[in-house]
Amino acid sequence: MKYIIILGDGMADLPIENLGGRTPLQAAKTPCMDELAKRGTAGMVRTIPEGMPPGSDAANMSVMGYDPSIYYTGRAPIEAVSMGINLNPSDVAIRCNLSTVSDEPVYENKTMLDFSAGEIPTEQANALIRYLIEHLNEKHMRLYPGISFRHCLVLGNTAVGTRFTPPHDIMGKPIRPYLPEGLNGTRLTEFQRHSYELLKDHPINLERKARYEPAANTCWLWGEGTRPAMKPFKELYGLNAGAACAVDLIKGLAILTGMKAPHIPGATGGKRTDCAAKARAALRLMDEGCDLVYIHVEAPDESAHAGDLDCKIEAIEAIDRDIVGPVMNCLRKRSEEFRILLLPDHPTPMSIRTHTAGPVPFVLYRSDRDTSPHAKAYSEADCADTELFIPEGPMLMKRLISGEFS
Ligand SMILES: [Zn+2]
C-alpha cells in the first residue's frame, strides 16, 4: 500500500470577475483532480487552528499530521533546520528576506516594493548575504545564506518576544508601522537599516537596476522561533515517509519528522517549477521503501503573492498534468494499491495576494474502491457542496492511513 499527499500551496481562491466568476481551480484544466473528486471522498477541511496566523508552516504541519497548537514554535526554526543550522535552546531563528524598498533617505519613511526582490537568483543573493556577513555578523547575531530571497538570521542568548510582519503582507505600504518591535525590536530595526546602507550601492544591485530588475536593497526580518521538538513520523504513524519538495520550510518539516527529503534538480520553489521532476522523485522515494510520500508545490502560492493569475492557473494545470496524472497511472500500471490526499494548505486569494485561514477543498481517494461523498469536480464550491467538513487538519492523515474516509 502506498500513500501520496499532493499539496498545491495556496491553490484555493475566491471567484474572480475576469474568470466569469470562477476561481482559478474552476478555470484550470484539471481532468485528473476531477476524476479523484468524482470517485473519492470530497469535502472541506480547516488546516489552520482557530486563532493561528494562516502560515504555510502551521498549515503544512497540520496536513502532515502534527497539531500546530502542540508543535508550532515559529517558521524560521523549521527553515533553519533545513539549511543545516544547529540551533541551541537559547537561539532564536528569524527568517531574513532580501526585499526591495523605495529610496527615501530616512529608512522608516520607505515603502515595501517587492518582498522577494523579483525572486532574485540564489547566486546573486548569496553574494549579497556573504557581503552582509562580513560587515554585520557578531558573536550572538549570525546570518546564514539560503535559497533565492529566503535567508536566516540566528540570535544567540535570547528568547522570542519580538513582533514582526511578513513582507508579502505589506506590498506597496510604508514600512514604519511594520518594523520589528518588542524584545529585540530596536536592535533588529538597526540591523535592517544597516543592511540597506550596505546593499543600496552594491555592484550587484547597480547591475540589477541597470537591467530594470528590483534591487535586493534590504533585509526584512519575520517569523521568529526556537527549535521545535517533533516526534518522528514513523513513531506517530508507523510508516516510512519521504517528501518531494523544494522550499526550506517543507524540507525542514521533513527533517524534523525523520522523513527523507532528497534534492530535486529543477524544483525551484518559485512561480515556475519542474512538476514532472517532483513526480519522478516521489516515485523513486516509493521504490526506495517509502510507504508515504508528501509532494509539495509552492508555485500557486508564489503566483498569487505576485498577483499573477495566468501563472497561478498554469501552476494548477501543471500539478494536475505532471503530478496527479503520472503518479496515478504509474501506480495503476504496477497494480500497487494506493491512496491519495489532494488539497492546498490554505487559500491565497488573488484579490488580496496573501493567505487566509479559511477551510480548503480536499479529496481522499483509494484505488481499490470508490468512496463517498463524491464531488462533481475538484473545486472550492463542488467540495463544499458535499457538506463534509473536517475541523482539524491532522484528522485527514489519520483517515488516509485508516481508510475510513468519511
Ligand atoms: Zn502556503
Q: Where are the domains of the chain?
A: 2-66+231-402, 82-225
pLDDT confidence bin for 382, thresholds 50/70/90:
very high
What distance in angstroms lies between residue 207's CA and the mean position of ligand 1's atoms? 32
What distance in angstroms lies between residue 298's CA and the mean position of ligand 1's atoms? 7
What distance in angstroms lies between residue 184's CA and the mean position of ligand 1's atoms? 27
What distance in angstroms lies between residue 7's CA and the mean position of ligand 1's atoms? 9
* Mean pLDDT, rounded, for 113-117: 95
* Mean pLDDT, rounded, for 264-268: 92
What does the block give as the cell for 364?
Answer: 481522499
- Could you report the per-residue pLDDT of 278-306, keeping only the tens digit for each? 999 999 999 999 999 999 999 999 999 99
* Mean pLDDT, rounded, for 59-71: 97
What distance in angstroms lies between residue 353's CA and the mean position of ligand 1's atoms? 12
pLDDT confidence bin for 272, thresholds 50/70/90:
confident
What distance in angstroms lies between residue 224's CA and the mean position of ligand 1's atoms? 17
Residues in the chain, total: 406
**Cβ neighbours for 404, distance < 8 A, ≥ 6 positions apart:** none
What distance in angstroms lies between residue 9's CA and the mean position of ligand 1's atoms? 5
CATH code linked to domain 2-66+231-402:
3.40.720.10
373: cis peptide before it, omega within 30°?
yes
- Rounded distance, CA 134 to CA 103, Å? 24
| Helix and strand element counts for the chain (H, E) | 16, 14
What distance in angstroms lies between residue 194's CA and the mean position of ligand 1's atoms? 30
pLDDT confidence bin for 335, thresholds 50/70/90:
confident
- Rounded distance, CA 165 to CA 183, Å? 15
What does the block give as the cell for 278?
Answer: 517532483
* Poorest-pLDDT segment among 124-133, 138-147, 208-217: 138-147
pLDDT exceeds cutoff 90 at 309: yes
Q: Pairing state of beta strands 360-366 and 338-343?
A: antiparallel
What distance in angstroms lies between residue 296's CA and the mean position of ligand 1's atoms? 10
Q: What is the pTM of this model?
A: 0.88
* Mean pLDDT, rounded, for 64-93: 94
What distance in angstroms lies between residue 313's CA and the mean position of ligand 1's atoms? 16
Q: Tell me the residue type at 307.
A: G
What distance in angstroms lies between residue 301's CA and the mean position of ligand 1's atoms? 6
- Could you report the per-residue pLDDT of 10-51, keeping only the tens digit for each? 999 999 999 999 999 999 999 999 999 999 999 999 999 999
pLDDT exceeds cutoff 90 at 139: no
pLDDT confidence bin for 236, thresholds 50/70/90:
very high
- Note the pLDDT of residue 41: 98
Answer whether 102's CB lies under 8 Å from 209's CB.
no
- Note the pLDDT of residue 22: 98
What end-to-end distance do the CA atoms of the chain give, in Å?
Answer: 20
pLDDT exceeds cutoff 90 at 269: no
What distance in angstroms lies between residue 47's CA and the mean position of ligand 1's atoms? 11
What distance in angstroms lies between residue 111's CA and the mean position of ligand 1's atoms? 24
Greatest alpha-carbon pair distance for the chain in Å reads 65
What distance in angstroms lies between residue 25's CA and the mean position of ligand 1's atoms? 16
What distance in angstroms lies between residue 175's CA and the mean position of ligand 1's atoms? 23
pLDDT confidence bin for 138, thresholds 50/70/90:
confident
pLDDT exceeds cutoff 90 at 391: yes
What distance in angstroms lies between residue 345's CA and the mean position of ligand 1's atoms? 6
What distance in angstroms lies between residue 333's CA and the mean position of ligand 1's atoms? 32
What distance in angstroms lies between residue 56's CA and the mean position of ligand 1's atoms? 4
pLDDT exceeds cutoff 90 at 310: yes
State the average pLDDT for the chain: 96
- Rounded distance, CA 154 to CA 166, Å? 17
Answer whether 95's CB lies under 8 Å from 192's CB.
no
- Note the pLDDT of residue 153: 97
Alpha helix (H) residue ranges in 4-105? 24-27, 31-39, 56-63, 68-71, 76-82
pLDDT confidence bin for 275, thresholds 50/70/90:
very high
pLDDT exceeds cutoff 90 at 352: yes
* Mean pLDDT, rounded, for 203-224: 97
Q: DSSP class of residue 238?
A: S
pLDDT confidence bin for 406, thresholds 50/70/90:
confident
- Rounded distance, CA 362 to CA 247, Å? 22
Our measurement of the distance from residue 64's CA atom to the centroid of its chain's CA atoms, rounded to an integer in Å, reads 13
What distance in angstroms lies between residue 103's CA and the mean position of ligand 1's atoms? 30
What distance in angstroms lies between residue 355's CA and the mean position of ligand 1's atoms? 7
What distance in angstroms lies between residue 317's CA and the mean position of ligand 1's atoms? 18
What distance in angstroms lies between residue 151's CA and the mean position of ligand 1's atoms? 18
Of 101, 93, 247, 271, which Cα lies nearest the Cα of 170? 101
- Note the pLDDT of residue 76: 95
Our measurement of the distance from residue 122's CA atom to the centroid of its chain's CA atoms, rounded to an integer in Å, reads 18
**Helix (H) or strand (E) run with residue 95 in it:** strand 92-101
* Mean pLDDT, rounded, for 111-138: 94
What distance in angstroms lies between residue 191's CA and the mean position of ligand 1's atoms? 27
- Note the pLDDT of residue 225: 96
pLDDT confidence bin for 137, thresholds 50/70/90:
confident
What distance in angstroms lies between residue 52's CA and the mean position of ligand 1's atoms? 14
- Rounded distance, CA 127 to CA 56, Å? 28
- Rounded distance, CA 240 to CA 238, Å? 7
What does the block give as the cell for 212?
Answer: 530594470
* Mean pLDDT, rounded, for 390-399: 98
Higher pLDDT, 336 or 196: 196
What distance in angstroms lies between residue 249's CA and the mean position of ligand 1's atoms? 10
What distance in angstroms lies between residue 349's CA and the mean position of ligand 1's atoms? 11
